[in-house]
């Protein structure tokens, strides 16, 4: 399958640079897989499209302030993006303005740190100091994606998180969940929707486009997931009762499909599940998602769920009606 099928042109002004002041006031495009219809509404009216007995599954990962500015001891600034904790003393990272050196001594605030490049990967050496990573993160900022062309602002510390974020570990947010408020979740529960949480920590793979010409050649970066036993049992019970499982976000889809497509039903670990057109879904019946970048793995997953032609018809209509795209943009509901 040629990755070129998943390309499209987006007017720059449709890339949302800021979130809506009211989370649930985002627009909502509703696509029906049964009759191929497209409707338009606002996210605050999500309950009009769900029904009692539906199970809504959300990713409660919490974004860490992984974007950090440091000053080289030899002079000059570098930008560090923490990507993955390797062990107690080292964290993998990306480094901007590093030059050709393979060892950099720097200061983050008043903390002295060492960056070492090993096998093409930068590692931040935390040393033997207990709590060093927490002290470093105190100088960090939310890692907004590169298409948001502005500096991080104080409001991003709150808005680049879902209202239900709980388990620290992501360097990218599960953005489909940005549209929920506590009141909206409470209203859904009141009408009989069962709200459950899983955890998947989004890593550097979220930022990486598919670079291989053939989709099948792409390798997903593995990410940590966890599902509580009670949550698993409640989802399994709902499936047996033919109740709909509505996943919020592609990270939630990947977690649920990892767990329920495996005979062993492993509830925690690392997943590199790559979902693209042709995949047969085991558990998910509905999807809440944002509008994704061209050639991205989330776009491929959504296309697998709704069909390539259907997704691009939705995207064309969203562009025509000037929906807001990407991280701080509007949402889709696919049923």
Q: What is the pLDDT of residues 12-40, one digit of tens each?
A: 999 999 999 999 999 999 999 999 999 99
**148 falls within a domain:** no
Domain boundary at 77, 106, 137, which? 137
Q: How confident is the model at residue 103 (pLDDT cuts 50, 70, 90)?
A: very high
Supply 302's token pair: 């959504």
pTM of the complete model: 0.94
- Number of domains present in the structure of the chain: 2
Structural domain ending residue among the three candidates 77, 103, 137: 137
The pLDDT tens digits for 44-66 are 999 999 999 999 999 999 999 99
Q: Which regions of the chain does DSSP assign to beta strands (E)? A: 27-31, 38-42, 55-59, 61-63, 67-72, 77-85, 90-96, 103-108, 111-118, 121-125, 167-170, 194-200, 223-226, 245-248, 268-271, 286-290, 331-334
Tell me: do 273 and 133 sit in the same domain.
no
Residue 207: pLDDT band with limits 50, 70, 90: low
Residues ≥6 apart with Cβ < 8 Å to 270 = 222, 223, 224, 225
The CATH number assigned to the domain holding 267 equals 3.40.1780.10
Q: Has residue 142 been placed in a domain?
A: no
**Does 259 lie in the same domain as 159?**
yes
Predicted local confidence at residue 128, as pLDDT: 65
Same domain (yes/no): 198, 283: yes
Q: Does the residue 187 lie in any domain?
A: yes
**Same domain? 55 vs 124:** no
Clarify whether residues 110 and 186 are in a common domain. no
Residues 6 or more apart from 113 whose CB is under 8 A from it?
70, 105, 106, 107, 124, 125, 126, 136
* DSSP per position, 271-309: E-----TTPPPSS--EEEEE---TT-HHHHHHHHHH-HH
pLDDT of residue 129: 64
Last residue of a domain, one of 109, 137, 165: 137
For the chain, report the end-to-end CA distance as a whole number of angstroms: 25
Domain enclosing residue 296, as ranges: 3-63+155-334
Average pLDDT, the chain: 95
Query: Given this model, what pLDDT does residue 130 score?
Result: 63
* pLDDT tens digits for range 129-185: 667 889 999 999 999 999 999 999 999 999 999 999 999 999 999 999 999 999 999
For the chain, the farthest-separated pair of C-alpha atoms sits apart, in whole angstroms, at 65
Model confidence at 208: pLDDT above 80? no
> What digits encode the pLDDT tens for the residues 256-287?
999 999 888 899 999 999 999 999 999 999 99
Helix and strand tally (H, E) in the chain?
7, 17
Please indicate, yes or no, whether residues 301 and 245 belong to a single structural domain of this protein. yes
On whether residue 144 sits in a domain, the answer given is no
């Amino acid at each position: 399958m040629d990755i070129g099928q998943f390309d499209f042109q987006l007017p720059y002004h449709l890339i949302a640079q800021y979130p809506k002041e009211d989370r649930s006031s985002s627009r909502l495009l509703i696509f029906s897989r049964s009759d191929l219809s497209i409707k338009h509404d606002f996210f605050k009216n999500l309950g009009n499209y769900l029904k009692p007995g539906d199970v809504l599954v959300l990713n409660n990962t919490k974004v860490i302030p992984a974007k950090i500015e440091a000053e080289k001891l030899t002079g000059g600034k570098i930008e560090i993006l923490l990507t993955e904790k390797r062990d107690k003393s080292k964290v993998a990272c990306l480094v901007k303005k590093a030059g050709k050196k393979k060892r950099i001594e720097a200061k983050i605030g008043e903390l002295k740190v060492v960056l070492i490049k090993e096998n093409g990967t930068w590692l931040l050496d935390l040393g033997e100091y207990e709590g060093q990573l927490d002290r470093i993160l105190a100088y960090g900022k939310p890692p907004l994606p590169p298409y948001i062309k502005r500096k991080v602002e104080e409001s991003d510390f709150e808005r680049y998180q879902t209202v239900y974020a709980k388990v620290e570990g992501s360097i990218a947010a599960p953005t489909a969940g940005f549209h929920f408020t506590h009141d909206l979740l409470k209203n859904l529960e009141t009408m009989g929707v069962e709200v459950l949480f899983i955890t998947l920590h989004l890593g550097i793979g979220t930022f990486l486009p598919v670079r291989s010409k053939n989709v099948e050649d792409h390798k997903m970066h593995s990410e940590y997931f966890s599902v509580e036993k009670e949550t698993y049992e409640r989802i399994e019970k709902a499936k047996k009762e033919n109740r709909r499982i509505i996943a919020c976000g592609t990270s939630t889809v990947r977690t649920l499909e990892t767990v329920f497509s495996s005979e062993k039903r492993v509830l925690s670990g690392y997943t590199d599940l790559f979902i693209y057109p042709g995949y047969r879904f085991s558990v998910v019946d509905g999807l809440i998602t944002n509008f994704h970048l061209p050639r991205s793995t989330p776009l491929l997953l959504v296309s697998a769920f709704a069909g390539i032609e259907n997704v691009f018809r939705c995207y064309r209509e969203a562009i025509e009606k000037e929906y807001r795209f990407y991280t701080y943009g509007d949402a889709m509901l696919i049923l």
